[in-house]
Each structure stands twice: as C-alpha cells, then as structure tokens.
Structure 1
Amino acid sequence: MNRKIRVAIVEDQELFRSGIITLLNGHNKMEVAFDSSNGLEFLQKLKKDQPDVVLMDLSMPQMDGSEAAQKALALFPDLKIIVLSMLDQKDYYARMIKYGVKGYVNKDVNLSDLYDAIEEVAQGGLYFSQDILRQLVLDKERGSDENSYELTDNELSTLEMICKGYTNKEIADQMCLSIKTIEKYRNTLIKKTNSRNTAQLVMKAIKEELVLIEG
C-alpha cells in the first residue's frame, strides 16, 4: 500500500557504501535510489532524482559532505539529509544543523537504529544519535547558568518532547492540549531561541542544556 522509502547514499568508502546498499535493498520498506562516492557526483545525480532521504558522509574527496549538504539544501530546501558522522567530527555539528540537516547518526550505529533514523526522518521527524547529543553537552561552553529565553513551563515541556522526537500530535496527547496549541509552542520556541528551524532548535536545546539527555 505504501511505497518504499527511497534513500540516496553518499559515501566514499566503497566497502561501507556497498554494505549499506545491500542492507537497505533487503529491507521491506526501503530501497536505494542511487549512490555516490563524493559530493560533486551526488549533486549531479540529485538534479535528476530527488530521494526521500539522503545518508551523507562528511569526509569525501572532490566535495565533502558539508559543502554538498549546503548546496543540496540551497537547491532543494525540503531535502531530508541524515549525516553519517564520527564523534571526532564535532566541529561540523553546528554548521550542518544551520544548513538544515534532519539527523545525525554515528557510523558505528546498529542496524535497527539506522532503520529507525531513516523512517523517522522520512516521516518528517528528526533523529540524533544519543552519543552525539551527549557529546554536544560535554562540549558545551558554559556561560551564565540562567538562560535568557524566558520559556514557560509548557514551552519547556514541549521542547523536551520535541528533542525526544515526539510528533505534534503525540505532544498534544501527552499534555492534554490541542495540536494547534503545540504548533504555536513550537513556533514560539523557534522564535525565542532565534533558531532557523526545528533541527537547529533541538541542537541548541541540547547544547545549552535547556533539556537534559538521559544516560
């Protein structure tokens, strides 16, 4: 009834790329739209075929993932990109979020979490590996202990659930409020924190410890 999620893979390591292709093509809900070994090749193929989700490596020859993501999202702002990252690539985190990527997963992610990430992002959500979120908290440069955003209790509760990946409907059900009210809270949070989008809001919330990550 529902068509498969079409995934593009951008990865320069042939063995790793081939493995992901085999795994995704073997999944009953997913298929590989195309694969590329660098950002330049990816952009050329993207102009002819827009997949549902992109798995994007960062370190690649000719054009790296950071530049490729920026250019791809400039061409197709609704493109859903998940970054394949290593923890030592933390310098890229904030930059990629500003570009509008929808998720971050470690390259050593287990298979079920990778599938979850693809499904969540394909459905319009966000997905960030817990270890990457923890790293952002560890790397936080401490300033004043008080945040200047003046968030209400309901806004903070909404923010916490957004960071956990809840949909507007799920948040509304949890808080016994209407979906329109939750949408209003989400928009207010983006404005108050001076974020460009929900993905940047999530990362800012974690980095500035507006919410706590368990574990």
Structure 2
Amino acid sequence: MENKNIIITGTSRGIGFELALQFANAGHQVLAISRNTKKELLEHSHISCLPIDIANENDLLQVADFVKETWQNKVDILIHNAGLLVNKPFENLSFSDFEQVYKVNVFAVAELTRICIPFMKKGSHVVTISSMGGIQGSMKFAGLAAYSSSKGAVITLSELLAEEYKERGIAFNVLALGAVNTEMLQEAFPGYEAPLSAKEMADYMFNFALTGNKYFNGKVLQVSSSTP
C-alpha cells in the first residue's frame, strides 16, 4: 500500500497516541496535533508534531503552512480524534463550559476540515471520532449534556460534508465509540473498567481509516461492545 500523509488530532494520550505510532511504524507520514506531545512521538522519524490548541482558529492555520511546506499540498487522511469532556449536572453547566466543549469537539472539526479540503484529492478520507452518547436513541448519561450533544453535532456535520464533497471523491465517515479504557472514560465514569484498551481501538481505527472509504461514505459506525 502506498504511504499516506495522515493528520491526527488529540495525540497526547490514549487512542490518538497509539494511532499515531501505529501509522508511523507502518511507514506513513503523520502530523500529530496536540498541545502536549510525548517523547515517543517527538523522536519518531515518520511523525511531525504540531503543539497547537485546536480551539484557537489562528493556531489551526499552522496546519496549512505545514502541508504546503512539508507535504507538497497533499493530505490523504484526516482523523478528528481530539475531544473535550466536561462532566457536570446540567444546572451547573455554564455558557463557558458549553463553549469550550463545542470549540474542541465541533468548531475545530469544522475548521480543520475546511483547511484541509483544498489538499485532499479523490480517495481521501476524513474520519471523525464521535461517541455512542451522540447517537440518537442510544442510552444517555447524566452530566454529559455538553459532551454528548457536541458528539451528535459532528455526526450531522459529517453526513452533510459527505454529500457536499461526494463528486470530488472525498469520503466522510464517523466512528461512534463505546467504552474504551482511556483517561477520558475515567473522567466520565470513574472506576469503570472498559473491555477495550486504547491500543485495541487504535488497531480497528487504523484499518478503517486506510480502507473504510472504499465501503462507506456519510456513514456512522457504532463501534461499541459495552455500555457505557
């Protein structure tokens, strides 16, 4: 398989960290976007690290500069993995809480996609990581109003973009994840032990990002073996 240029957000820990290493170890070129970066990513020859805040519109412009200067205007796969979770009773959620969650989980997804679209050609794949909490009709949990509603928003956004860009051959799909043993899961459900590790979920996402666009476009795949 031809080596790809792959952008991944939220690579400081958990699934994003494992995914960046897996793509790089397979010979692909990775742009790892996260405010904090671990040594393993910084020292990998196939990984470039961009320590930016994706909630900052001006910071995101650095992605375009990197693609132009380093990747000769070519992005094959974009994976929106970064997420922000606030766990509070609804009556305690402030306007600022909602704003911060939506900036990371929705606005940054839209803006980074907009920035990358000019560099994506037929066969490119945009994968957005959502949550079972954003699926209509799924079980919902108290305290996650901002988080789960934001994850529902990016599902609809991806469906719309799949329609808008289908003639250009750019695929947009969503993976709605269930419980995975990550720090974010512990923030939402302290003490809960999920059946899947971050590495195991990264294995699945690795293959889906590379080949899922051959079979799906504008789809939401529920990748969940347990609830929560």
- Give the structure with higher Rg (CA): 1
Structure with more contact order per residue of length (Cα contacts < 8 Å, sep ≥ 6): 2
TM-score (normalizing by structure 2): 0.32
TM-score (normalizing by structure 1): 0.33
